[in-house]
Amino acid sequence: MTRTDRVFDNGIRLLLGDSLAVLRDLPGGHVDAVVTDPPYSSGGQSTAARKADPANKYQQSGTKRTYPAMLGDNKDQRSFLAWAALWLSECWRIAKDGSPLLVFSDWRQIPVMTDAVQAAGWTWRGVVVWEKPSARPMQGQFRAQAEYLVFATKGRHARATDRCLPGVFRQGVDTPRKVHLTGKPVPLMRDLLKIARPGGVVLDPFMGGGSTGLACLETGRSFIGIELSPEYYEIASARLAGESAEKSGGA
């Protein structure tokens, strides 16, 4: 299979394709951290609700912005667990010993994601909270005001910092700069990257619009990003290449 593989001279490498297939071609033991935001396959109690368009599942009604389609967000719970364990196993192989893993999830999916992380061989170390002050109020019940990151390491943690990092990050969604339906704020990603070795290589197998990559650029880390959607791949390429030159292209 031919796939696009762009390498820029600013330390950014972007691969277009299905992450599971692409990951299988990457060499073992060479990245310093895995930080990723996969499709959650969340958003409902019934199969039909889960298979709904992510633009309806994850956007507040009345929101006017439209984004390119987000792919792969429609798995049932059993296939989600099997699939997540497969790509997380590949990430485990590609990571150096002691590397941290951070995987986004929501309240519905965090139990299955912690199972998948451990099934793939990672040592589960905790859950980090992203508090979103802009979450919509919900009459008569608790506001869904947070998303979560499963934190794990490949065996014994090789610490990248002596600092004590917080377990809760409060950060608003940056709507004007958002290029992806479920895009994460770059300042949040910069804060989270404090867990990753300075100057190291960060892998994101579901890069979307490239927020993790931008945070890597801004903090002096290298980045390997994978995306299935050609539209988001082009958006991320434009955001991350900046003025830098492509070193090698389209395999």
Residues that bind ligand SAM (CB under 6 A): 18-19, 37-39, 70-72, 180, 182-184, 206, 208-209, 211, 226-229, 232
Q: Which residue has the tokens 């109690």?
A: 45
Helices (H), 141-207: 186-192
> Measured from the CB of residue 155, what is the shortest distance to ligand SAM in angstroms?
26
> Measured from the CB of residue 72, what is the shortest distance to ligand SAM in angstroms?
3
> Measured from the CB of residue 139, what is the shortest distance to ligand SAM in angstroms?
28
Distance CA 23, CA 162 (A): 31
> Measured from the CB of residue 23, what is the shortest distance to ligand SAM in angstroms?
9
> Measured from the CB of residue 131, what is the shortest distance to ligand SAM in angstroms?
17
Whichever of 155 and 175 has its CB closer to ligand SAM, that residue is 175
Whichever of 160 and 192 has its CB closer to ligand SAM, that residue is 192
Find the largest Cα–Cα distance for the chain.
56
Contact present, 153 and 101 (Cβ < 8 Å): yes
By DSSP bridging, strand 201-204 and strand 33-36 are parallel
> Measured from the CB of residue 236, what is the shortest distance to ligand SAM in angstroms?
7
Distance CA 230, CA 180 (A): 13
Distance CA 37, CA 14 (A): 16
Whichever of 180 and 221 has its CB closer to ligand SAM, that residue is 180
Cα 37 to the center of its chain, rounded Å: 2
Whichever of 11 and 17 has its CB closer to ligand SAM, that residue is 17
Closest CA to 217 of 244, 195, 235: 244
Whichever of 71 and 158 has its CB closer to ligand SAM, that residue is 71
Whichever of 158 and 179 has its CB closer to ligand SAM, that residue is 179
Q: Which residue is nearest to ligand SAM (CB)?
A: 208
Dihedral through CA 64, CA 187, CA 219, CA 161, nearest 10? -140
> Measured from the CB of residue 18, what is the shortest distance to ligand SAM in angstroms?
4
Question: Does residue 151 sit in helix, strand or coil?
Answer: strand
Distance CA 251, CA 12 (A): 16
Cα 86 to the center of its chain, rounded Å: 16
Whichever of 35 and 139 has its CB closer to ligand SAM, that residue is 35
